[in-house]
């Protein structure tokens, strides 16, 4: 795939489709289109009856993504709308089933996303570094309208199989990025208590916020 920005590789795209529960007919918002790799996966999953509204800040990336998606599907996809601009400045309140954020600072979009997602809708973020991951998770907790976010990364190790020579390949696809998901709660519903209390001193000695007195893991 010709690219301007890095692409989301199949190992991560497959998990986004599964853990964000992208289903046929889903109404999905995507921010950070890059080269259109993830957009193509999402469009295949939602089908012609779904809706994918993608936002990309850079017009040059948006042009590359549009070309790649149209090349992949043999023409414009009827369920795709691509907007050049910031998600938080253009996303209107409405009924959105899923939001996928692949961007530098996803925490900047949380207020707009929380207004657009339906109760039970899923937010999925793809970030590259531990500092981005930590800030995104803490921001999701602070906004108070999502359940406890789940975060992880996946590494792939291929195997060489030739006669009696059965061994791991010397090279593997290690870190590409972190994924995290959180589900939008209905208005007025408080996030469930976290199953583990924060480590002592994690938020300062005077921390009295949520789960400060929560019990240890059950």
- The secondary element (H helix, E strand) that includes residue 181 is strand 178-183
Q: Is 121 annotated as ligand-binding? A: no
Nearest-angstrom CA–CA distance, 176 and 218: 32
Supply 114's token pair.
Answer: 């929380």
35 is in an annotated binding site: yes
Which stretches of 32-116 are assigned E, i.e. beta strand? 51-56, 80-84, 96-102
Tell whether residue 151 is among the known ligand binding residues.
no
The dihedral through the CA atoms of 62, 68, 73, 74 has a sign that is positive
DSSP 193: P
- Judged on CB neighbours under 10 Å (0-12, 13-18, 19+), 15 is middle
85 is in an annotated binding site: no
Q: According to the annotation, is 47 in a ligand binding site? A: no
On whether 36 is known to bind a ligand per the annotation, the reply is yes
The verdict on whether residue 40 carries a ligand-binding annotation is: no
CA-to-CA distance for 52 and 126, rounded, in angstroms?
A: 17
- Which positions make up the binding site? 35-38, 56, 86, 102
- Which positions make up the binding site for S-adenosyl-L-methionine? 35-38, 56, 86, 102
């Amino acid at each position: 795939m010709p690219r301007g920005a890095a692409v989301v590789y199949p190992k991560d795209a497959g998990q986004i489709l599964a853990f964000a529960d992208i289903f046929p007919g889903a109404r999905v918002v995507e921010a950070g289109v890059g080269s259109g790799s993830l957009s193509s996966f999402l469009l295949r999953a939602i089908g012609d009856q779904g809706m994918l509204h993608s936002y990309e800040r850079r017009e040059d990336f948006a042009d590359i993504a549009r070309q790649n998606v149209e090349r992949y599907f043999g023409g414009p996809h009827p369920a795709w709308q691509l907007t050049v601009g910031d998600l938080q400045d253009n996303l209107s309140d409405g009924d959105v089933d899923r939001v996928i954020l692949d961007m530098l600072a996803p925490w900047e979009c949380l207020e707009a996303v929380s207004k657009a997602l339906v109760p039970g809708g899923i937010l999925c973020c793809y970030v590259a570094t531990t500092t981005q991951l930590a800030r995104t998770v803490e921001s999701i907790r602070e906004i108070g309208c999502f359940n406890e976010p789940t975060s992880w990364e996946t590494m792939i190790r291929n195997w060489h199989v030739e006669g009696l020579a059965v061994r791991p390949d010397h090279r593997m696809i290690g870190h590409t990025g972190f994924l995290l998901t959180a589900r939008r709660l209905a208005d007025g519903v408080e996030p469930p208590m976290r199953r583990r209390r924060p480590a002592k001193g994690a938020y300062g000695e005077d921390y009295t916020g949520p789960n400060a007195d929560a019990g240890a893991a059950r």
